[in-house]
Structure 1
Amino acid sequence: MASTCHSLLSFPPLSKPPSLLTPKFFTQHSFPRSISTDRPSKTRSNSSPSSSTAAGVEDDPKKNSLPMSIDNLRRFFDLNVGKWHGSFHQFDANGKLMQKVSTRLSASSYGEDELISLIQTLYIKQPPTSTSISGYDEEPEWAEYKIKETNMFTVDSYQQLGFFPNERAFALRYQTAGMLETVLRQGVLGEDDTGEESPRNLKLPSRLPSIVCENCLYSREKDRRARAFHIMDPKGILEMLLIFLEDRGDGILSRPTLDSNTDGTNRIIPFLGWWKGHSVTKRSGVYGSTLAEADTIALLEMDDKGQLIQDITSTSDRLGVTTNVHWTGNTADNLVTFDGGYQITLLPGGMYMGCPSDIAKSVAESKSFHLEFCWLESPGKRQRLVRTYDVEGLAVSSTYFSEIKL
């Protein structure tokens, strides 16, 4: 088995950098710095054609032209604009639902060309007041919060967009620490956590998380999307998982939500079997040039001892090279732990989220790492989005998978 961390597809480690970061990186910086669009490429082996890293791929100047970047940004805004109704879910690292809150999100764009911007406002349904009159239906109160504006500068500077316009998916790292303050400390608690009692089962995130990554997948069956957030604590350990499940449109009566009444054994059953699909890997940044494409075949099965067995075969479209990876894992409730230090948390609604068990260890050992979100919206069809970070903790690329069950 390869030495690097694994999700449901194996990626090789990057070349060793001139200087290595220690685990202190995760305690001294709330977020890694962004990758520059003109950062020198590194040479690496092509042993795995389906790698989602940006190393070893020369930038195409034609793909980095400004008109294309503006077009990509406009398409990204078009994908997000509108009124979204849904629910926010907070899970612990073991997939236990701790909190659910009704939400609304209003997004619109303004400006032209390089000045085009996206503005978003989040509305969080507030709990009933303790002074409500018996027998009187109190009108629900919605608290309003502004989300940091997205524009040409922010999306390519520190938001690090990985965008798939045709596949309708994106990975984004904006100032999501502020989102945590808005949703959890203000929206759910009603005020900052200054010793006041919080709602039962609510867990507050660290004020300086090492990584906050958003992976968003859009439904193929309706105007719905799932936005999944990995929250890593200052030491690089998974702290919590957040999911917004939202429908777009006016006059929506029912809000989409996740059913949490399925135990861990049943949650993994829909993912077992043979899966055939295709992957597209793009570099980080608003230019979004394609790095690699590959056809994939995956087998996930449980042996008679209850051990999880996985085989992945990937064939590069460009090089025609086939790579096979085999590894094993163990399940405990909603948590799957693979050999090599990668874990997957099984969630309700046909979803799972994967990450290294210890990101700081990966960085200290000069290993790349990956954050994954999978959504099996209907039986036999799933989408996956993998966000890849290099050995320095920089988000360098994203890979989108579309797969069907054989």
Structure 2
Amino acid sequence: MLRPQIISYCTKMAENNWENFLKNLGEWKGSFTKISPQGEILDSTLSIINLEGLENNKLIKFRLRRFGGNSYDETPTQDYEQDYRNLGRQIIFFETGTFSKGAFQLAPFAEFGSEFGFIKGDRRLRCVLLYDRQNEFSSITLIREFRRGSNAEERPQLTIDQLLGKWQGTAYTAYPDLRPTDKFDTSLEVKQIDNKTIEQKLSFSGTTLSSTAQIEENKLVFDKGDSPRQILLLPDGTSTNAPSKLELRKPFFLEVGWLVNENERQRLIRNYDATGAWSSSTLVIEHKVD
């Protein structure tokens, strides 16, 4: 039986999660863009999402409309509504309103996916990474959203040059059991060795990890080690960092990054342990210093 103080603590953390969720309230116009695992844009549909707070924000009404044509004034091809009074444990909102959502567990012969959502001012960027029943990376959905009535603009497609340099940041790691969030400093240095190779060095909590990648058009391919993975450079300053295939009984992570401006980048990382269970989510906010 849970002790009263533990129940009280969990309730408080759930309330904090809800308060962070509220930072996404508003009407957001945007689009859903389907992208192949190789970074090829396949199709795109316009969308409007409404997140409306009622009953002193104890009730949130969610509405998603998607449009088949080129205008928000057309009759939507999809109109979906849902009410929220609480949040599932599979989703964590950070203090900024940014969130990580996805499956609790990787399982054999089952589809698997995670959603990564960023918010900054009048912009939201969300990205969904999906794997098929054979655990092969199957698709990306990029969702670019702008607050209604704002002058927010889309970022250009991410380039290698924008990633080069030294980045100093702060990481916030949250856990499924809603224990206190860990906070630590990070350092990332990205160098281009030649026209086909980059090297990156990531440091955090006394650990330094170095790796090299081959440059292939809009991809950075990391083919050393047991789990080949690639970083895709996508529209709106987006990057995805994902294994080509998920392997059972091996830990792994999925990551999406967003270049908010030339000197600020945010990354969301969803970590899974060797049993395939979701173990934590990390938000990194880093700034270019060189």
Which TM-score band applies after superposition, normalised by the shorter structure?
0.7 to 0.9
2:17 partner SS: helix
Question: How do 1:205-216 residues align onto structure 2 when only pairs under 5 Å count?
Answer: 210-216=111-117
> What displacement does 1:334 show?
1.7
- Alignment partner of 1:301 out of 182, 191, 197: 191
Work out which of the residue numbers 166, 171, 189 in structure 2 matches 1:279.
Answer: 171
Question: 1:290-369 maps to which residues of 2 (within 5 A)?
Answer: 290=181, 292-304=182-194, 306-315=196-205, 322-338=206-222, 339-340=224-225, 341-359=228-246, 361=247, 363=248, 366-369=249-252
- Does residue 289 of structure 1 match 2:180? yes
Distance 2:129 2:60 in 1: 23
Consecutive unaligned residues in structure 1, runs of 5 or more: 1-37, 39-59, 129-136, 176-207, 316-321
Aligned to 1:146: 80
- Residue in structure 2 matched with residue 227 of structure 1 by the alignment: 126
Q: Which runs of 5+ in 2 are unaligned?
A: none
Count residues in correspondence. 279
In structure 2, C-alpha distance between the alignment counterparts of 1:389 and 1:147, rounded to whole Å:
31
Given that 1:87 and 1:257 are in contact with CA atoms closer than 8 Å, whether structure 2 keeps it comes out as no
Task: Report how far residue 145 of structure 1 moved.
Answer: 2.4
Note if 1:127 corresponds to 2:69: yes
Structure 1 segment 76-155 matched on structure 2, within 5 A = 76-110=20-54, 116-127=58-69, 140-152=74-86, 155=88
Instruction: Evaluate the alpha carbon distance shift between residue 62 and residue 139 of structure 1 in structure 2; reply closer, same or farther with a 3 A threshold.
Output: closer
Partner of 2:253: 370
State the 1:228 CA deviation. 0.8
AA paired with 2:88? V
Cα shift at 1:400: 0.7
Does the CA-based 8 Å contact 2:259-2:266 persist in structure 1?
Answer: yes
Q: Does 1:389 align with 2:272?
A: yes
Task: Judge conservation of contact 1:162–1:397 (CA < 8 Å) in 2.
Answer: no
Please name the residue that 1:401 is paired with.
Answer: 284
Q: Which residue of 2 aligns with 1:172?
A: 101
Q: Is the 8 A contact 2:170 2:284 kept in 1?
A: yes
Aligned to 1:65: 10
Partner in structure 2 of residue 269 of structure 1 = 161
1:223-265, CA deviations, whole angstroms, 9 ceiling, x for partnerless residues? 111011101111111111111111223x46x885565xx6xxx
- Please give the alpha-carbon distance, in whole angstroms, between the structure 2 residues aligned to 1:163 and 1:288: 13
Letter in 2 for 1:67: K
Give the C-alpha shift of residue 117 in structure 1: 4.4
Matching residue's letter, 1:216: G
Tell whether the 8 Å contact from 1:93 to 1:238 is kept in structure 2 after alignment.
yes
Higher RCO (C-alpha under 8 Å, 6+ residues apart)? 1
Q: Which amino acid aligns with 2:91?
A: L
* Cα contact 1:374–1:384 (8 A) shared by 2: yes
- Residue equivalent to 2:91: 161
**Greater fraction strand:** 2
Alpha-carbon RMSD across the aligned residues, in angstroms, is 2.9
SS in 2 for 1:393: coil
Q: Which residue of 2 aligns with 1:242?
A: 141
Q: 1:193 aligns to what?
A: none
* Change beyond 3 A, Cα 1:83–1:309: same
> Using the alignment, how far apart are the partners of 1:223 and 1:138 within structure 2?
19
Shift of 1:395: 1.9
Superposed CA deviations along residues 206-237 of structure 1, whole A, max 9, x for unmatched, are xx962121111112xx3111011101111111
Given that 1:162 and 1:288 are in contact with CA atoms closer than 8 Å, whether structure 2 keeps it comes out as no
* Shift in Å, 1:332: 1.3
Identity among equivalent pairs (%): 24
> Distance between the aligned counterparts of 1:170 and 1:288, measured in 2?
16
Do the aligned partners of 2:29 and 2:147 also contact (CA within 8 Å) in 1? Answer: yes
Alpha-carbon deviation of 1:281? Answer: 0.6
> 1:270 touches 1:350 (CA, 8 Å); kept in 2?
no
**For residues 225 and 299 of structure 1, do their structure 2 counterparts lie closer, same or farther at Cα, with a shift above 3 Å needed?**
same
| Secondary structure of the corresponding residue to residue 70 of structure 1 | helix
Measured in 1, the distance between the counterparts of 2:259 and 2:230 equals: 18
Q: Which amino acid aligns with 1:282?
A: A
Q: State the alpha-carbon separation in 1 of the partners of residues 7 and 132 from structure 2.
A: 39
Letter in 2 for 1:100: S
Q: Is the 8 A contact 2:60 2:84 kept in 1?
A: yes
Secondary structure in structure 2 of the residue aligned to 1:142: coil
Measured after TM superposition, the shift of residue 63 of structure 1 is: 7.6
Shift in CA distance, 280/139, structure 1 to aligned 2, threshold 3 Å = closer
Q: Indicate the larger mover: 302-311 or 94-103.
A: 302-311
Q: 2: distance between equivalents of 1:100 and 1:283?
A: 33
The one-letter code of the counterpart of 1:329 is A
Output one character per residue of 1:308-344: Cα deviation in whole Å (capped at 9) or x when no partner.
21111213xxxxxx11111111121222221232221
TM-score of the two chains, using structure 1 as the length reference? 0.62
Q: Residues of 1 paired with 2:81 and 2:271: CA distance?
A: 25
What code does the residue aligned with 2:68 have?
Q
CA contact (8 A) 1:101 1:125 kept: yes
State the secondary structure of the residue aligned to 1:303: strand
Deviation for aligned residue 1:276: 1.0
Which structure's residues are more often helix, by fraction?
1
Change in Cα spacing, 1:144 to 1:348, as seen in structure 2 (3 Å) is closer
Cα distance in 2 between the residues matched to 1:118 and 1:236: 34
